[in-house]
Amino acid sequence: MRRNIMVGLAPLALGMAALSGAAGAQSLPLTMKQAVDLALEPEGSVRLQMAIEAIEQARSRSGQARAALLPQVDAAVTRDNRTVNLRAFGVNFDIPGTPFQTPGLVGPFPVFDARASGSQSVFNFSSIRRYQASRGGVRTAREESDATRDQVAAQVAKAYLAALRAQARIEASQANVRLAEELLNLAKNQRDAGTGTGMDVTRAMVQLANERQVLLVAENERTRAHLELKRAMDMRLDTPLELTERLEYHAVDPMEPEAAIRQALEARPDWKAQRQREQTAGLNYSASKWERLPSVAAFGNYGAIGSGIDNSFPTRTYGLRLQVPVFDGGRLDAQRAEAASLRRQESIRTADLKLRIELETRLALDALRSAREQAEVAAEGLELAEEELGRAERRFSAGVAPGIEITDAQNRLARARENRIAALFNYESARLDLGQALGNIRQTIQQAARQ
């Protein structure tokens, strides 16, 4: 229940933290799901904003294609003053032997014309196909937007996971420093009691210095990971964050490769977008092919014309126009060849994407299986390293073992802790990769939040 409340309050908390900046602002508590939700807000990721604009552009192009099928109406009012050379138009009725002669220049005289004209496509199969293709472009843009949302979710989730790894390394380094301090005190006590040597103390001091150095590196890594997470979320870089989750093991039920591939082909938005692009290319090819068909359009105009407004008379024109392409210099053939090539190109891309989806799915399944085994081995190795250190510490305290034995056990414990962190990170990364390969990365993140 508390997590659900935090999801609802996260945008408000983010806004408050962003306004406060680094000037003593309280850290923003953040889970992986909240980080992804904030990045997927309309004002979140820049990539998502660009995808939304691409949908609007596709809708606008569809509206332009639809306009060719709708009535076109224009209205105009003109008032001009003319002079006309009748002889230039072949008007010459001079009668020899008579005083009648056609004037060469007529005017000036005024002309007033107020007229509305319109046209309507009755049959144009090419325009219909182009409109259908434009609607397919809108569906493609929507699927690409969903694919972008999945990519943003995966990017933010992996950045959050990297920040969790950095935090886990700091905790492990702090534990190693505390252990090194305890063993240094033990070495000093053993030296004072006469059962230890100065070399044991020096060795423990060197080990403590090394662990402090590792801690400094881990702290710098955490700062970098937090900055990259905030950049992935497109939020202010001076906003302090508090990651409320830990690097943990979330079990995933194994899947058969064939079933996983079928699920990926049903769910992945990039596959749907590519299939839609191929279909749109086919419609564009059909449109270019049917441009050879005759087209029929209706036209007409109605208005008043005269020398002025007060002596204008109504006139009108209407009719049907049948247009048959006869010869266009090869333009239509070239357009059809280009459209056919684009259709074949999209078919090639579809086949290639299908193979790539199968490859990504199989690799993700194999990586998840291997990461699961690594996590189990790392957990066992950490348990054994802790047991070894305990035995070495008891032997050293009893004076029956040299200090080098406890130092070696201490190093192996630090390495086992790092192996455990790396194994958990690899497993969770593989789980996210599988979710992205199957097209359900956002569902994967939600399931992890409920575990």
Q: What is the pLDDT of residues 44-80, one digit of tens each?
A: 778 888 999 999 999 999 999 999 999 999 999 999 9
pTM of the model: 0.80
Query: What mean pLDDT comes out for the span 265-273?
Result: 94
Least confident of 100-104, 119-123, 197-201: 100-104
Q: With 60 as the cut, is the pLDDT of residue 16 above it?
A: no
Rounded average pLDDT over 76-95: 83
Confidence of residue 187 (pLDDT cuts 50, 70, 90): confident
How far is residue 277 CA from its own chain's centroid?
17
User: What CA–CA distance (Å, rounded) separates 211 from 181?
Assistant: 10
Residue with the larger pLDDT of the pair 279 and 395:
279
The mean per-residue pLDDT over the stretch 19-48 comes to: 77
| pLDDT score, position 444 | 86
pLDDT confidence tier of residue 90, bands split at 50, 70 and 90: confident
**pLDDT, tens only, 296-327:** 999 999 999 998 888 889 999 999 999 998 88
Report the C-alpha gap between 68 and 46 in whole angstroms.
34
Where is pLDDT greater, at 5 or 410? 410
Report the percent of the chain where pLDDT is more than 90.
61
Give the model's pLDDT for residue 19: 35
The closest alpha carbon to 160, from 451, 450, 448, belongs to: 448
Q: Give me the chain's average pLDDT, please.
A: 87
Say which CATH topology domain 2-17+30-81+107-450 has.
Outer membrane efflux proteins (OEP) (1.20.1600)
Among 23-32, 193-202, 269-278, 324-333, which is the least confidently predicted range?
Answer: 23-32
> Looking at the predicted structure, is the pLDDT value of residue 125 above 80?
yes
Is the predicted pLDDT of residue 159 greater than 50, yes or no?
A: yes
Q: How far is CA 191 from CA 185, 210, 389, 428, in A?
A: 10, 22, 20, 46
Q: Distance (Å, rounded) from C-alpha 356 to C-alpha 350?
A: 10
**Statement: residue 24 has pLDDT above 70:** no
